[in-house]
Chains A and B, each alone.
Chain A
Amino acid sequence: MSDSAAPSTVPAPLAGGAIRPLKLPLREIAPWAVLMGALMLLGIYFVGSEAGAFSMVGGTWIHEFVHDGRHLLGFPCH
């Protein structure tokens, strides 16, 4: 390992072509985690709770559509 390598957790490519990182830098993960994490939680909210305790879009169509999945995935339904 070269001492001059940047203090990144991703090592530079080795001679053999193996460039497998040992860790993924949190700096790189954070923006994806914030954006996609919020989007994914919104998806789980629509399956798990829309028109139950809270309602974002109004009406009970989504609740009725995902009804069986909500029960069987274990969310409180009604």
Chain B
Amino acid sequence: MMRRLLVFGMLAGLVAGLVGFGFASVTGEPQVDAAIAIEEAAAAPPAPGEPVEPEEVSRGVQKGVGLAVATGLYGVAMGGLFAIACAVAYGRIGTSGMRSTSAVVAAVGFVTVAVIPFLKYPANPPAVGNPDTIDRRTGLYVVLVLVAVIAALLAAQAGRAVADRVGAWNAALAATGVFTVLVVVAVVLLPVVNEVPDSFPPELLWRFRLSSLGTQTLVWAVLGLGFGPLADRVLNPAPARRTPAVAASPSPSAG
């Protein structure tokens, strides 16, 4: 059961990652190219006679195979974690089947690991960000993702604790409230990082960030909507067998 759910999670994730690749190539790559042009214009030109530093990986590979492998691997890995999360959530968060469970877990996952980090530490194009602070920025980013994941787990537990008394709708509201309070506190307390150079075009920054958020949105949407029906088949191993059984039965109670 778990093995098949994981396989389908990674499969849905691969498709999601490749859809993200298509979207990122079309909407994001022009912004990355423009930002790299700004980065190179700002760098000191090589002294005459000095050999030009060879590119380890060409731009063509970076924006083609490299981007596809990155988004594909991200999709597969996120899909595997997503399958585990759905297996735990199934039957435990008040959703009625695997398709709605998958959609809800994807919505929560998208907000938790993509939107919340994006709101505090948004994606940056090349030429933005001081390489000397990468350790600190990576640490803050990981801390915020971890806090958001823990907040989502605590919120789900809080919702489950009150669901019997207040009903599913109010339990979902309570869980959302707990999540919001915890995440807002963390986002306010964590330090601001702003390393955008004054000369960087704001329009380019906006379009880059929008394409980054769009890529994440698509990946999670495809993952959440794609995994549900596949996982439903794992949980309902014999829908084909059931239909003729019902059809063959003359009993009025079959309906």
Contacts and interface: CB of A to CB of B under 8 A. Distances in A.
A19 B237 contact: yes
Contact of B212 (A23, A26, A73): A73
B229 interface: no
A33 B137 contact: no
A45 to B, nearest CB: 9
B14 to A, nearest CB: 12
A69 B67 CA distance: 5
Nearest to A48: B74
A68 B80 contact: no
Q: Which 3 A-B pairs have the closest CB atoms?
A: A69-B70, A43-B77, A23-B91
20 contacts: A18-B242, A24-B1, A29-B87, A32-B2, A39-B80, A40-B76, A41-B81, A52-B138, A64-B57, A65-B69, A66-B69, A66-B70, A68-B32, A69-B69, A71-B28, A72-B212, A74-B123, A75-B141, A76-B124, A78-B129
Given A17-B241, A36-B84, 5 more contacts: A65-B66, A67-B66, A71-B124, A73-B123, A74-B118
Interface of B: 1-3, 6, 20-21, 24, 28-29, 32, 55-57, 61-63, 66-67, 69-71, 73-74, 76-78, 80-81, 84, 87-88, 90-92, 114, 117-118, 121-126, 129, 131, 134-135, 137-139, 141, 208, 211-213, 215-216, 235-238, 241-242, 245-246
